[in-house]
Structure 1
Amino acid sequence: MKRILQFYILILLAVTGGCGMSKEKDNGKANQEPMPETEAFQDEFTREFMKSAEEIEEGYYTFESKTKGYTMLFPENGKISKGDYEQVDTDYEALSFAEKIDQENVTYFVTINFEESPHAKNTSLYTKQLSIATGYSGEYTPYKLEDKTIYYGEYTDHDSGLYFYNAYIFSNESDKGIRFVFSGRCIDEPKSCEPSPSVIKDRIKRVTESITFK
């Protein structure tokens, strides 16, 4: 468990440490429009996933998967890791992104695995994979929306200050599903403060509930 926590802390420090530094050439879907001065658009690789430069909700734009399998809200200063990205045709996509929110004293890291599979509704299979990946030993709570169902589990590691939110989201109408892992902590020393799970959870749900399978 300790190794898993150390891994997530190192990832958070490495990825969010570079946020706000990218100023590459114009490229991507949103290039035809005036570009917002945010990390999501200033980073060349992240910009490839932005469907348009129109702000859908305050601080959020529309992300479109390169598989064309789903869209979701994406934070304005999120940055997708090019090195972690993987795609297999239209059936599978793995990516990670991070964001540093100075005004909330929070930095976080998200991993997303999209898959189209006949086993997509096998929730025990995919929640078990999530638990193994993060060291989570708790239960998952399901709730059903009109177009998708979400199974989630959450916990806070008080020693490291990390807050984890695992979710498996699958379409009610197709064989598509997403494994979603959020890990966040305070920007200050982990033991000096803790991000409020309720505030962070609202931010997470805004993204997970915005997922639209195509």
Structure 2
Amino acid sequence: SKLKGFRMLFPEDGEYVPDLSSKGENEETIVFDSFNKKTNIQYDGQLDYHQEKSFANDKDTMLDIVSGRNSYKGKYEERELSDKIVYSAQKKSSFDDVDEKNNFSYRFFGYVKSKKKEYLGIEYSFRFSCYKGKEVCSLKKEEAEKKVRKIIDSITFLKVKKEK
């Protein structure tokens, strides 16, 4: 991150999108996209980093924000890791107005909250779809979910000291 607030794995064929990314004093948005010609899978993501923001401490507020941005009304899975808590959800969207066999996408989204520092977290959203709807596409939910989990679990908050 340009704020040097966190580090994470980045998709091998992912490209940073500077026009959609931004940096403020205590927040940063990182947008990337990726397209694999062999598999015909397009994959894009957005991460919104918040530090020293009171709302970042309130799990319910953050999940309401994430739910609103993703038109989601369901529950979130909660996983506690050594340095963070990961809240995640997913949904499949179908596009009825597209007359192609690959007319769907998978979206994985949620919130990562630091356990070591108050008021610190990252909203995330990743979307996987078939780039060309009429061509062969090997998009599988399990494989997409595995990629997202690997990236999210790799997030390390930097310059964070345990508060007492």
TM bracket, shorter-chain basis: 0.7 to 0.9
Which structure dedicates a bigger proportion of its chain to strand? 2
Q: Is the 8 A contact 2:40 2:135 kept in 1?
A: no
Unpaired runs of 5+ residues, structure 2, are 96-102, 159-164
Query: In structure 1, what is the equivalent of residue 162 of structure 2?
Result: none
Shift of 1:188: 2.8
- The one of 165, 176, 195 aligned to 2:108: 165
Query: Which amino acid letter does the alignment assign opposite residue 125 of structure 1?
Result: T
Measure, in 1, the Cα distance between the counterparts of 2:78 and 2:135: 31
Please give the alpha-carbon distance, in whole angstroms, between the structure 1 residues aligned to 2:144 and 2:114.
24
Structure 1 unmatched ranges of 5 or more:
1-64
Q: What does residue range 59-208 of structure 1 map to in structure 2 within 5 Å? A: 65-89=1-25, 91-116=26-51, 117-159=53-95, 160-174=103-117, 175-189=119-133, 195-208=139-152
Please say if residues 79 and 98 of structure 1, whose CA atoms lie closer than 8 Å, have aligned partners that are also in contact.
yes
4+ long deviations beyond 3 Å:
190-194
Q: Percent identity over the alignment?
A: 23
More helix by share: 1
| Higher RCO (C-alpha 8 Å, min separation 6) | 2
How many correspondences in the alignment?
149
Q: Distance in 1 between matches of 2:88 and 2:134?
A: 24
Partner Cα separation in structure 1 for residue 74 and residue 136 of structure 2: 26
**TM-score, with structure 1 as normaliser:** 0.65
Q: Counterparts of 1:75 and 1:193 in 2: how far apart (Å)?
A: 19
Query: Following superposition of structure 1 onto structure 2, how do residues 41-52 of structure 1 map, counting pairs within 5 Å?
Result: none
Report how far residue 194 of structure 1 moved: 6.9
Aligned residues: CA RMSD? 1.8
Letter in 2 for 1:123: K
Cα distance in 1 for residues equivalent to 2:68 and 2:39: 30
Partners of 2:134 and 2:120 in 1: how far apart? Answer: 36
Deviations 1:115-170 (A, max 9, x none): 01233231111111111112112111111000000001101113340111111001
Shift of 1:186: 1.3
